[in-house]
Amino acid sequence: MKIYLTEFLGTFWLVLGGCGSAVLAAAFPDVGIGLLGVSLAFGLTVLTMAYAIGHISGCHLNPAVSVGLWVGGRFPANQLLPYIVAQVFGAVVSGGVLYLIASGKAGFDVSAGFASNGYGTHSPGGYSLLAALVTEVVMTMMFLLVILGATDKRAPQGMAPVAIGLCLTLIHLISIPVTNTSVNPARSTGVAVFVGDWAVAQLWLFWLAPIVGAALGAVIYRFISSVDN
């Protein structure tokens, strides 16, 4: 149970740090952190948690990552469902805490988005369903390539959290305008359930695309990493 609690806490921090920065600080008058700040916040949540809990649970914080690590032969199938449940639960509880904080400001309107992911009219840049699908698949695929490569026993030791955190930052810099960046079904679910309506209706994409992308990334890494073996 300790490893599942650890995944719960890690995902809680990811949603609070990443989505919290988007909801509370991105457009704060005069000193808003903007797209760059939100991107960095998501990367920092993973970086800090990877050092804090990586040695306990592996610091997945993401159902797509857990699936990708399983496909990549790095994670046992019998722990897959409990990990995903813990991650989603952590994300939803974090979304609730963020909702309580954000609703303390006059004029707060959860229907405005609450850092939810979307496509079409709910994409920050008005991007289509196809563009969102391709973005989420490709970004998650590359995320898994970096995760698997950085944590390979042949890679430089102790630097994996830095590479993974910076990779997630880069992913957000690229894809926030398209989908508000998911690459993580738990992160998407944690805020969408409080928005309801369109955010829940479009949530299927932010489960399907990251999981497909993660599986592709794992298959590709297993192929390229076997070249020298």
pLDDT digits (tens, 9 = 90+) for 131-161: 999 999 999 999 999 999 999 988 888 899 9
Q: Which CATH superfamily is domain 2-225 in?
A: Glycerol uptake facilitator protein. (1.20.1080.10)
Give the type of residue at 10: G
Q: How confident is the model at residue 26 (pLDDT cuts 50, 70, 90)?
A: confident
Burial pattern 53-70, b for ≥16 Cβ within 10 A else e, equals bbeebbbbbbbbbbbbbb
Asked if residue 106 lies in contact with residue 187, where contact means CB atoms within 8 angstroms, the answer is no
Helix, strand, coil % in the chain, rounded to nearest 5: 75, 0, 25
Q: How confident is the model at residue 122 (pLDDT cuts 50, 70, 90)?
A: very high
- CA–chain centroid gap for 133, Å, is 15
Of the candidates 19, 65, 66, 26, which has an alpha carbon nearest to the alpha carbon of residue 45?
19
Distance separating alpha carbons of residues 117 and 188, to the nearest angstrom: 6
Whole-model pTM over 0.85? yes
Distance separating alpha carbons of residues 1 and 12, to the nearest angstrom: 16
Give Cβ neighbours of residue 190 (< 8 Å, ≥ 6 apart).
11, 15, 19, 88, 90, 91, 92, 94, 95
| pLDDT at position 228 | 57
